[in-house]
Amino acid sequence: MNGIDNVTFGVTMVVVGMGGTLLTLWVLTILIDVIKKIFPVAKSSIK
Amino acid sequence: MTESVLSGAIMSSLSTLSEGVRMFATAAGWQSAVMMAIAGLLLYLGVKRQVEPLLLVPIGFACFIANIPLNDLMEGNGVLRTFYTMGIVNELFPLLIFVGIGSMIDFSPLIANPKTILFGAAGQLGIFSTVAIALALGFDQRQAVCIGAIGACDGPTVIYVANKFAPELLGTLSVAAYSYMALVPVLQPPIMRALTTKKEREVQMPSGDAKINPTILVLFPLLVTLLIGLIAPKGLPLMAMIMLGNFMKVTGVVNRLTKASENEIANICTLLLGLAIGGTMQGEQFLRLQTLLIFALGLLAITVDTAGGIFLGKIWYWLSGGKVNPLLGAAGISAYPMAARLVHSEGQKYNKNNYLLMRAAAANTGGQIGSIVAASIMLAILHGLHII
């Protein structure tokens, strides 16, 4: 076990964990938008 | 053979036969009795109330037999120990179940409305806040991470994380996770009503249904796997397996494997997983104050998850000038598709013309991805801090 104290560990978890999750999913929204632009819906399939 | 030797042998044999019964009268016996009562409760919930029966029936039954005095089911080559070793210790069962889950998920609502994935991030707030509270209550760092994972609302994720860092809590954490997943329809609606106004709940949104280029559906699982693999490789097995199942489904070229993943493989793994978890529920480890604390923290985690999603929904409502229904945030948890259905039905209670289902499904699949991302990032943090 390492020597990091619980307060440091808890704050790191909340800040990096929550922040990292938000950031990762935000990057994913951007990537989805990008591939939607690269592969648009074929006009024939739009009613 | 003398008469005394014969009577000694008979008495000794009878004594052995009655040893189990006599064990009930000892201090360890009451623990067995309490655990059998808990097993009875799990079986009652599974059989009579149909609460997650696929999990609670094998868990309850294995808990029942594992607490019969003098059994050796969890010893050496005991049958429950064998299931535990072959599928839990190496994380095989939760990962195979993830392939099945992936093959059942439809990510097209999410791809049509990509920003709703952010609800899936806000819906993980409970995980991280619960880790902090568990630390404050005296749990060690590894245990706190595993308890926070209950907030993922995702049984296989909890089992995967618990087995890695707190195997001594595996039974408690698994039962807590699956119990709260089953209780989502009871837990979420009051929170939705408490945190939103009637005006907010009535907000009507377009259905969110949109055409998607089929190539995107095929690329999506690869893209997500690559992203998580690069950011948090420790969580790659979780994301890769769920995306493998989805990839097989959307390509449509391996229908036999897809069907096997969502039926036979998932069913066999669910049975063996349930039995192995039930086997770990033995009195001396389960009947502790920390079990009650873990259940309380699990409830807190799911409550904060729901609240986190709704608060993001309220911010979105405010930023959009009242065009986004904040109820959608409650679907940002991983309980799929239950949370999406709840949001839809809650929205319809206040506005009969409101069809939130597609958008809620998008948020819900975002929650599924979000919970795995959150778990992966927790693993990455533990690795970065040299705790694992």
- pLDDT of residue A45 exceeding 90, the answer is no
Q: So what's the pLDDT on residue A2? A: 55
Q: So what's the pLDDT on residue B30? A: 86
pLDDT in tens, B60-119: 999 999 999 888 999 989 999 999 999 988 889 999 999 999 999 999 999 999 999 999
Q: So what's the pLDDT on residue A24? A: 96
- pLDDT of residue B280 exceeding 60, the answer is yes
Cβ pair B211, A46 in contact under 8 A: yes
Q: Which residue in A10, A17, A46 is closest to B378 by CB distance? A: A17
Is A19 in the B-facing interface, judged by CB distances under 8 Å?
no
DSSP B285-334: HHSSHHHHHHHHHHHHHHHHHHHHHHHHHHHHHHHTTS-S-GGGGGG-SS
- pLDDT of residue A29 exceeding 90, the answer is yes
Q: Which residue in A12, A18, A25 is closest to B366 by CB distance? A: A25
- pLDDT of residue A46 exceeding 70, the answer is no
What counts of helices (H) and strands (E) characterise chain A?
Answer: 2, 0
- pLDDT of residue B21 exceeding 90, the answer is no
Taking contacts as CB-CB distances below 8 angstroms, the residues of chain A near B127 are: 17
What is the band of B347 on the pLDDT scale with cuts at 50, 70, 90?
Answer: very high
**Quick one: average pLDDT of B260-267?**
95
User: What chain B residue is nearest to A31 in terms of C-alpha separation?
Assistant: B223
CA distances from B153 to B23, B45, B234, B257 (A): 38, 19, 20, 27
Which residue, B174, B119, B159, B146, is CA-closest to B339?
B119
Q: Which residue in B211, B216, B377 is closest to A17 by CB distance? A: B377
Contact call for A22 and B122, based on CB within 8 A: yes
Chain B: give the shortest CA distance to residue A5, in Å: 9
Q: So what's the pLDDT on residue B315? A: 96
User: What chain A residue is nearest to B148 in terms of C-alpha separation?
Assistant: A13
**B141-148 and B125-136 helices cross at what angle (nearest 10)?**
150
Q: So what's the pLDDT on residue B55? A: 86
Q: What is the ipTM of this complex?
A: 0.91
Q: What is the mean pLDDT of chain B?
A: 91
Q: How far apart are CA B157 and CA B281, in angstroms?
A: 19
Q: So what's the pLDDT on residue B336? A: 85
In sequence order, which residues have a C-beta less than 8 Å from that of residue B90 and are 6 or more positions away? Answer: none
**Quick one: average pLDDT of A18-45?**
91
Query: Above pLDDT 70, what percent of chain B?
Result: 99
Q: Which residue in B115, B124, B145 is closest to A21 by CB distance? A: B124
**Quick one: average pLDDT of B335-361?**
91
Is B120 in the A-facing interface, judged by CB distances under 8 Å?
yes
Q: So what's the pLDDT on residue B1? A: 61
Q: How far apart are CA B388 and CA B380, in angstroms?
A: 9
Cβ pair B169, B291 in contact under 8 A: no
Contact call for A39 and B111, based on CB within 8 A: no
Which secondary-structure segment (H or E) carries B380? helix B357-384
Substitution target from A1, A2, A13 for chain B, most B beta carbons within 10 A: A13
- pLDDT of residue B235 exceeding 60, the answer is yes
Which secondary-structure segment (H or E) carries A23? helix A19-38
- pLDDT of residue A47 exceeding 70, the answer is no
In sequence order, which residues have a C-beta less than 8 Å from that of residue B191 and are 6 or more positions away? Answer: B303, B306, B307, B310, B330
Cβ pair B328, B118 in contact under 8 A: no
Chain B: give the shortest CA distance to residue A17, in Å: 6
Q: So what's the pLDDT on residue B178? A: 84
Higher pLDDT, B354 or B26: B354
